[in-house]
Structure 1
Amino acid sequence: MQSAEPKKALKISLSFENNMDSKVIYIGSSRQLFIDDYLIDKSSGIKFAVNSPVKTHEKLIIADCPWEDIMVGPYCTVMDDDGVYKMWYESYAKDNDMKAMGFLCYAESEDGLVWRKPTIGKIPFRGSNANNIVFPNEGKLYHGGTVFKDSVAEYAQRYKMVYAIHADGLFGAYSSDGVNWSTYDGYLLRNQCDTQNVCFWDGCIKKYVCYVRHNVPIRNPNVLRTVGRSETEDFLNWPPVETVLSFDQKDPPDMDFYNSAAIKYARADDVYIIITSCYHHTEDVLIPQLATSRDGITWNRIDRKPFLELGKTAAFDSGMIHTCVGQVIRGDEIWIYYRGIEKKHNQPYSLTKYGGTITRAVLRVDGFVSVDADSQEGFVFTKPLIFSGNALEINCKTESDGYMQVQMDALEDCQRHLISERLAGDMIDKKVNWPERKLRELNGVPVKITFKMKNSKLFSFRFRD
């Protein structure tokens, strides 16, 4: 429900002395998310808030096949691939010696909700090829892989995968269709890459980027898991990993980062997201936490609360949660897929039978972090910005007695300013109306933006034609 009240002056006086000495940020028409204070010069009466997605409790994929007789997951990739929803998920089964064997399985869906496990007929399991296993070939090992679509590769290698065999290295594979895979020779990276390994092509820096487990015994021999990163122009040659996300003094002494599930957010040029499963050793559980970044290197955790809470006792996600790599954006929603399991980390696999459930949680687009104001009016004053476009769209939500209002002021001429109507309601990509002047008057010149808000949440904004 959207509504607009008559314009009321913000009555904010901005000082423009020496403003041109401040660094002007060119944002053009790219979408700006409030994941941190990068754009903010000063503020009052506001706070940053991490917004958790809403669990659906759906059982989208369960362990119901012999090659999943231990469990499905924990590591999965999901993508909307030209209108077909595709998922690559890990499964574990007992071999003849009752040891765990890892496989990469494939599922697909027309709507992201009803999934089928097609018979691929490629990899034998217990004497039959009637399964949806796509990797590895018989007698080979596999663990912790994720798939990405390489936009700069030749057709035969447009799908790529990074995975672990042993804890001391990262390996790679390629495919033209995501089903029939060939492996690259040797290691891609010598590093302790146990658990989920993530890779993608970052068009902003024109390089491949990978995020892997990086064990650094900072606290003690057990609490040592961090997220490491490497980047390269050549997919087959990677420099050593550097730690980019680690625990600190604000974290519990028994907690470290089990994996990354890193993505580059599709709706913004400079937003990277990690939903790491934090391993709490004493309780023996894994609980996701959100980290955000502007460059994929320097990471910020707004707060340390769970991004997804564990389910209640005996629920299918009461022991560990691992989010899937990838992002599915449907309309105004982000669908965050995850694998939940009742099993705790150190409980033996021999006690787990057909465990694990892949489900999803729903978040509004751009909704990872917001700037919030309560019943006392809050203000956000941006740094000097240069934009491109003739319209301003914002993503915000107000309570029934709340509102959002925007003022724009040219730095070089304090008489050139715009004041918007007051906005109220739940708005995504809502065009802001300026009753008296046209936004194009400020196009291409340094401006400061003021957001005046009450009982509301501000997620993002964008200029466009």
Structure 2
Amino acid sequence: MRRTCLSACRDAMGQKYLVVFLAAVAFFPCVVNAELKQPNVVDVGAKKQIFLDGLFLDSQNHVRLTMHKPYRDGQILIKPDRPWEMDPKGSEQRISLYSCVLKQDGRVRVWYGMGRGVGSPEIRVLYAESKDGIHFTKPELGLHEVDGSKANNIVLPGPRIAGAAVWVDPKAPPEHRYKTQTKVYPPGQREKLEMHSSPDGIHWNLFAEPKVGHIDTQNIIFWEPSVGRYLFFTRFWEKNLDLNKRYRTVRRLESDDLVTWENEKPIMVPDDRDWSIHPRSGVSGRPPADFYGGAVFKYEEADQAYLMFTQSYWHWMDWGEAGLGPATIDVQLAVSRDAEQFERVGGRRPFLSLGPEGRYDSRFIWAMPNPIRMGDELWIYYVASNRDHSRISKIDPLAGRELSGIGRAVLRLDGFVSVDAGYRPGRFTTPPLRFQGNHLELNVDAAGGGSVRVELLDENREPIKGFGKDEAIPIARNSVRMPVVWKRNPDLSALAGRTVRMRFHMTNASLYAFQFKKIDTAEN
């Protein structure tokens, strides 16, 4: 458009008037930058925003996104230690990977799968609970008989039911409030998907048999208000047409009624980087790693934040009789803003790594969906084992016997990913934002020689009077709720509803989240 206008004006006015025209061009309608789209304004309202990805990094200098691994002490919180959790010879058995956790009414509630020996036809779902999330009890519920007694904690008797993924359905009547879906193996029949419902998470009845084609491992469902439908995440076998081999992926489906599912879409598939990380075994033709499952959940502490604990299965060495090695599973972290487009973070390094040789978590680790909040921490429960997934299912030789159990990993609140700066000062500017509230809080670690200052910019990227860098009080603390203060006026009421940007100036600091909030100043 600009070239057309210049040509027309040059012909009409002649060359000698061009200089005058160019001086006035900023005011001439035909050369207003109509072709340049205004940047989209992100409406953050008064909801917490976490730094999962580059959404809030419109421009940046000497900062980076960092994934944070949770702390683990190696303690086993739940292990097989009851007679009905043992094989007929009295040896403890492996807890099923497909287990889950919820925090409700002051209790941490765990549903876990349990067999009675390798390849046993008996696989059940059991229940444990805790007031502090560390010391668990296994209540004798008196529901299902084993070895002539109902004094056990079994809630779904099987005979072969592949674990659980319990969730609360906000659209269901009270009698069907709790639901779980799993692959079952009825005697003499093909495996199938069953969904059970319950009023309390203890007493279960068959609810539906959804038809979704092939399914396997842990199947995740939740209601998603942004699309007004249920979302279903399950493992799927993708076929490599060139090699006539199959490999594991994660797909998403949608439903209005939990029975009919549609809009199938793969959301986690081995890409070129996965295929090339190790030489592929000629025996399998599969990628060196694929995805045994994907524990997707909505992070309720923040706005539009979805995460996937991606269970990565490694099998790239030819182990002869044992099949393919190392035959281990660890956990990567993937993030999304819409529960559809996921991106792995942390350079694809493990979010939950395998434990050292000889420990119970040296071969398998499987993160349960839905971390629970305990104070200012997130507790991520996981199932682990020292038995690999090779053809002969080898046990870690340093352990001497099979070990498995449920453990706990601890992460800072909102602490999956942060924007970091080192000793070299860094800064970044957000895209245009619109907020509600009168104060700004950060989840930030700037202690020990660090600092963070925040300035507010107008639509032209100019500092707003009273809220510039020089007026900002440096933050040099570590807090999940740190107020941002300016010298003249910490109250942001006059800016609420306006389009602004934030520019963060950081040194030796990690920034996890921000939130504009409405605070009653009369109480302070």
Q: TM-score normalised to the size of structure 1?
A: 0.90
What is the count of residue pairs matched by the alignment? 444
2:151 equivalent in structure 1: 130
**1:267 maps to 2:320:** no
Structure 1 stretch displaced more, 345-354 or 207-216 = 345-354
Q: Residue 51 of structure 2 aligns to which amino acid in structure 1?
A: F
Find the aligned partners of 2:220 and 2:80 in 1 and give their Cα distance: 24
CA deviation vs aligned residue, 1:113-157 (integer Å, no higher than 9, x gap): 1101111111222332221111035xx431142100112210000
2:79 equivalent in structure 1: 62
Find the aligned partners of 1:181 and 1:348 in 2 and give their Cα distance: 35
Residue identity (%): 32
**1:27 maps to 2:44:** yes
1:192 equivalent in structure 2: 214
1:385 equivalent in structure 2: 433
5+ residue gaps, structure 2, are 1-32, 87-92, 278-286, 316-324, 519-524
Runs of 4+ residues deviating >6 angstroms: 17-20, 349-354
Counterpart among 76, 101, 106 of residue 78 in structure 1: 101
Structure 1 stretch displaced more, 213-222 or 189-198 = 213-222
Find the aligned partners of 1:99 and 1:335 in 2 and give their Cα distance: 32
Matches for 1:48-447 after TM superposition, within 5 Å: 48-69=65-86, 70-94=93-117, 99-136=120-157, 140-166=159-185, 169-185=192-208, 187-218=209-240, 224-239=247-262, 241-251=264-274, 252=277, 253-281=287-315, 282-302=325-345, 303-346=347-390, 348=392, 355-411=403-459, 414=462, 416-417=464-465, 418-419=467-468, 420-437=472-489, 438-447=491-500
CA deviation vs aligned residue, 1:34-90 (integer Å, no higher than 9, x gap): 111112211110111110000022210001123323211211111111212111011
Q: Residue 389 of structure 2 aligns to which amino acid in structure 1?
A: H
Report the CA distance between 1:235 and its aligned residue.
1.7
CA deviation vs aligned residue, 1:166-197 (integer Å, no higher than 9, x gap): 58643211000111111024x31332211111
Tell me, yes or no, if the aligned pair for 2:170 and 2:223 is still in contact at 8 Å.
yes
Report the CA distance between 1:441 and its aligned residue.
2.0
Tell me, yes or no, if the aligned pair for 1:287 and 1:309 is still in contact at 8 Å.
yes
Question: 1:21/1:157 Cα in 2 relative to 1: closer, same or farther (>3 Å)?
Answer: same
Find the aligned partners of 2:332 and 2:53 in 1 and give their Cα distance: 16
Tell me, yes or no, if the aligned pair for 2:327 and 2:388 is still in contact at 8 Å.
yes
1:10 equivalent in structure 2: none
Report the CA distance between 1:380 and its aligned residue.
1.1
Report the CA distance between 1:231 and its aligned residue.
1.6
CA deviation vs aligned residue, 1:238-257 (integer Å, no higher than 9, x gap): 22632111111112331001
Find the aligned partners of 1:434 and 1:404 in 2 and give their Cα distance: 12
Find the aligned partners of 2:37 and 2:245 in 1 and give their Cα distance: 51
Find the aligned partners of 2:267 and 2:473 in 1 and give their Cα distance: 43
Q: Residue 232 of structure 1 aligns to which amino acid in structure 2?
A: S
Report the CA distance between 1:394 and its aligned residue.
0.5
Tell me, yes or no, if the aligned pair for 1:56 and 1:362 is still in contact at 8 Å.
no
Tell me, yes or no, if the aligned pair for 2:69 and 2:411 is still in contact at 8 Å.
yes
For the residue of structure 2 that corresponds to 1:67, the secondary structure is helix
For the residue of structure 2 that corresponds to 1:396, the secondary structure is strand
Structure showing greater Rg:
2
Q: TM-score normalised to the size of structure 2?
A: 0.80
Report the CA distance between 1:413 and its aligned residue.
8.7
Question: 1:256/1:413 Cα in 2 relative to 1: closer, same or farther (>3 Å)?
Answer: closer
Find the aligned partners of 1:286 and 1:317 in 2 and give their Cα distance: 10
Tell me, yes or no, if the aligned pair for 1:63 and 1:357 is still in contact at 8 Å.
yes
Q: Residue 430 of structure 1 aligns to which amino acid in structure 2?
A: M
Q: Residue 321 of structure 1 aligns to which amino acid in structure 2?
A: I
Find the aligned partners of 1:116 and 1:288 in 2 and give their Cα distance: 27
Find the aligned partners of 1:63 and 1:22 in 2 and give their Cα distance: 56
Question: 1:280/1:30 Cα in 2 relative to 1: closer, same or farther (>3 Å)?
Answer: same
Q: Residue 231 of structure 2 aligns to which amino acid in structure 1?
A: V
CA deviation vs aligned residue, 1:216-254 (integer Å, no higher than 9, x gap): 023856661111111222122222632111111112331
